[in-house]
Amino acid sequence: MKSLQYYFTAQHENEETIRIVHRHWFNIFMQYIPIFILFIIVVFSLIFYSEIIESFSNTSARAIFFFMLSFLTLFMWIYGFLLWFDYYLDIWIITTHRIVNVDQKGLFAREVGELEYKRIQDISTDVNGFFPTILNYGNLTVQTAAEQSHFLFKSVGDPYEIKSAIMAQVKKRRKEHPNQNVDGGL
């Protein structure tokens, strides 16, 4: 996966990527609703352009109207891009050795955390609400015995299948390296 190298340059030797997880599409859809509403406002203002322009008696009021319309359109594009950028670059990479969390914080900041399977103590899923239940998405929390007490997979699709994939890797890893288990773990 060539594009994965941008996110994941520190891949260990003999480490294979099992799954790359993004937030569920419904999460970004809900964030785009205000943009859709602003888009409808812009479209209606262009449809009723002649009635709006007639209500302005001077050219400076027309210039302000077009400035505000242009500003609103620019705001929609920038806000929409930032939402997509955050959605696309927030990923969780599940490998044969660990879980890597790449959390994009705005345009110019990114936090990368990793969790080895030997540190995992518990995994829980949380699917609450009508849409999450129907569309099969929710939160998955991985409890650890490290400084960072948990990893949160927020609004991911099919959290039960992701939990099963992680559990299978934890069991496989602990079977291969029984002396590396953390006390009280799975």
User: Domain 4-23+93-180, CATH 2.30.29 — does that match?
Assistant: yes
Ranked by mean pLDDT, the top range of 19-33, 110-124, 168-182 is 19-33
Residue with the larger pLDDT of the pair 32 and 177: 32
**Amino acid letter, 46:** L
β-strand 91-95 against 98-104: which pairing, if any? antiparallel
Residue 185, number of CB atoms within 10 A of its CB: 16
Which residues, 6 or more positions from 150, have their beta carbon under 8 angstroms from its beta carbon? 141, 142, 143, 144
Q: For residue range 72-114, what is the model confidence (pLDDT) as tens digits?
A: 999 999 999 999 999 998 999 998 888 988 888 888 888 888 8
The average confidence (pLDDT) of the chain is 84
Residue 57 has pLDDT above 70, yes or no: no
* Sign (positive or negative) of CA dihedral 168, 172, 173, 179: positive
Residue 90, phi then psi, degrees to nearest 5: -80, 110
pTM over 0.85: no
Tokens of 22: 């993004």
Cβ–Cβ under 8 Å, residues 181 and 118: yes
Amino acid at residue number 11: Q
Copy the structure tokens of residue 51.
Answer: 């009635």
Q: Could you tell me the pLDDT band of residue 42, with boundaries at 50, 70 and 90?
A: confident
Quick: pLDDT tens for 130-177.
999 999 999 999 988 766 677 889 999 999 999 999 999 998 888 887
For residues 138 and 27, give the distance between their C-alpha atoms in angstroms, rounded to a whole number. 10
Residue type, 104: Q
Highest mean pLDDT among 35-39, 50-54, 147-151: 35-39
